[in-house]
Amino acid sequence: MKFEQGWASITISVSEGTRYYFGNVAIEGDSVMMEADLRKLVHFRSGGPYNTKLAQSTLQDLFGAYSEEGYIYAQVTPVENVRFDTVDITYEINEGAPATIRLVSIEGNEQTRDNVIRREVSSLPGYTFRRSEVMRSQRDIFNLGFFDDVTVDYRRADTAGTIDLVYKVKEKSFFGTIGAGITYSATDGVTGYVELQQPNMFGRGQSANVKLERGSKRTNVQLGFTEPWLFDRPTSAGADVSYYTYTYDYYDKQQLGGGLSFSRPLPLDFTRAYLALRVIDAYVPATSIKSGYKPTDSLFSIYADTTHKTAFRPSITFTRDSRDYIYNALTGSSTTYQFDLSVGDINFNRHVFDMSQYFPLFWKFGLMGRTRLGYITGLTSADRIPIYERFTPGGTGVDGVRGYGENSIGPKSSGYVIGGRAEAIFSLEYKLRVSRQLSFLAFADAGNAWNSIDQFSLSDLKRGAGVGVRLEIPMLGLIGFDFGYGFDKETPGWEPHFQVGRTF
């Protein structure tokens, strides 16, 4: 170090020494697991530069592999032998005996009953400990939607070879809403509501709701109840009645309905089957039809729907949902196939396939790809599909194509959208999940509807792209804002999509 006129010059001499490389890798003491499978967990290759992080991650994965098979007390010791510039590593394994779960405890729940949480637990007393089952239990408890956080504490039991599991939950500050308010969405405009919604009634996991809504576009009266574990079995049962009116661009739809629903898990992991039985009475009041509406094609005339039509609607749905958090997912997938049958005054069968796949990238970023395909047809060639039952993509929701107005995409007649009998929607989202309650995203959507499945074409999709934000707020639920640009509108431009108090 030297000083010159108030300045100090510092010279740092570095002697790098010898660079070391990974040499041979040996695994000793393994008898439960195949050595070839263990070697797949080695993160480095012989001849590569020695890296402490790679050696440590290999050690962690070897221990994780034994934990998955129940050998939670196994010991994996890396022994390094240095020869010249090469480091040979021998992983010495003392497997021990597989651990058995002795007790499963629940802590932190003040309102939710223990059995509501316990029935979501896969890692039960007497079972061999498996890390994947514990993680699955943690996910299933969290997806009940009653908790802000769920953690697992592993406690070594007094009895040799056993372990105690403690699931610690942090309950949300609310379990439903009681009151009145105003919501807004691009679909419905401004809507006032009075609502009693309880997703965890009396801490039993039962859900009940009573809702009265009135707005510029919709009126909705709804009562519903769901028991998720009927007779303490993993079969859910629900019942609901509703009166519903909705104002479309050139007509109003009124519908009175009621039904029963049942669901049960299937042997395939994360999979569930749903059966719904509904009766509906729907019609379009002739006085609600826009005065300027003059149909040129009787097949697509809304006047054909101005009489009361009653139908029986059985439907069956198969879902497979492995998302880490159903309200704001970053990993996993969701796949649904739904078949609807309508008999009576309205006769059709409808098929909808919807699949979303979530890919975690780095830090808190993730990618989501979605495909939705739908098809509806009459039971006979003479059956007419009411306009309000056809596919009309656009805006947000399950048939959303952002950058376009609600229900604005599809075949037209007399200048009005009449919907299609086939639809295809594709979406791609790049998400930053700051927390489970807040995320930002960039999206690209494309979709359309056609009069027949033969007209389907990937070159005939309406494209949109933009940015958005999602926020989950107590007592309000999910708030979202998307700002999308529609490239294929008659006049390309931006379209805002704002939604409060709805899940979409």
**Overall average pLDDT of the 468-497 stretch:** 86
Residues 327 and 390 in one domain: yes
Return the SS3 of 53. helix
405 and 256 assigned to the same domain: yes
Domain boundary, last residue among 48, 74, 94:
94
In tens, the pLDDT along 375-395 reads 999 999 889 999 889 999 998
Q: What pLDDT score was predicted for residue 424?
A: 97
We report the CATH number of the domain holding residue 269 as: 2.40.160.50
The number of folded domains in the chain is 3
Asked whether residue 3 is domain-assigned, the answer is: no
Q: Tens digit of pLDDT for each residue in 393-406?
A: 998 888 999 999 88
Q: Are 485 and 497 in contact (CB under 8 A)?
A: no
3-class secondary structure per residue, 232-253: HCCCEEEEEEEEEEEECCCCEE
- Of 38, 63, 94, the last residue of a domain is 94
Q: Is residue 365 part of a domain?
A: yes
Whether 324 is covered by a domain: the verdict is yes
Q: Which residue has the higher pLDDT, 473 or 88?
A: 88
What size, in residues, is the chain? 504
Burial environment of residue 305 by CB neighbours within 10 A (0 to 12, 13 to 18, 19 or more): buried
Residue 426 lies inside a defined structural domain of this protein: yes
3-state secondary structure 276-310: EEEEEEEECCHHHCCCCCCCCCHHHCHHHHCCCEE
Range with the poorest average pLDDT among 437-441, 466-470, 479-483? 479-483
Q: Does a structural domain hold residue 376? A: yes
Quick one: average pLDDT of 487-499?
Answer: 89
Tell whether 276 and 387 lie within a shared domain: yes
Q: What's the pLDDT band for 476 if we cut at 50, 70, 90? A: low
> Same domain for 149 and 205?
no
Residue 13 has pLDDT above 90, yes or no: no
**Shared domain check, 141 and 47:** no
Do 200 and 264 fall into the same domain?
A: yes
pTM, to two decimals: 0.74
In this model, does residue 180 exceed pLDDT 60? no
Answer yes or no: is pLDDT of 183 > 70: no
* Residue 181 in this model has a pLDDT that exceeds 70: no
Share of the chain above pLDDT 90, in %: 53
Examine residue 15 and state whether it is found in any structural domain, yes or no: no
Confidence bin at 503 (pLDDT 50/70/90):
very low
Residue 452 has pLDDT above 50, yes or no: yes
- pLDDT score of 118: 93
Of 171, 188, 207, which marks where a domain is finished? 171
Greater pLDDT, 219 or 223: 223
pLDDT at 168 over 60: yes
- In sequence order, the β-bridge partners of residue 449 are 423
C-alpha span between 169 and 154 (Å, rounded): 14
194 and 228 inside one domain? yes
Considering the domain architecture, whether residues 313 and 371 belong to the same structural domain is answered as yes
Position 4 scores a pLDDT of 62
161 assigned to some structural domain: yes
Q: What is the largest CA-CA distance in the chain?
A: 100
Q: Domain of residue 114: give its range.
A: 100-171
Closest to 331 (Cα-Cα) out of 453, 433, 217, 181:
433
Considering only 237-241, 342-346, 429-433, 479-483, which range has the smallest mean pLDDT? 479-483
Task: Count other Cβ atoms within 10 Å, centred on residue 393.
Answer: 30
| Statement to judge: residues 423 and 482 lie in one domain | yes
Tell me the average pLDDT across 301-305: 88
Same-domain check for residues 46 and 187:
no
Neighbours of 11 (CB within 10 A): 6
Reported as a pLDDT band with limits 50, 70 and 90, residue 116 is: very high
The CATH number of whichever domain residue 121 belongs to comes to 3.10.20.310
List pLDDT tens digits, range 23-82: 999 999 878 888 888 999 999 989 999 999 999 999 999 988 888 888 888 889 999 999
38 against 180, higher pLDDT = 38
- What pLDDT score does 232 carry? 85
| Mean local confidence (pLDDT), 172-182 | 60
Count CB atoms within 10 A of the CB of residue 271.
14
Asked whether residue 219 falls in the same domain as residue 331, the answer is: yes
87 neighbors 21 (Cβ within 8 angstroms): yes
66: which 2 tokens?
Answer: 């034994």
Same-domain status, 235 and 335: yes
* Residue 311 placed within a domain: yes
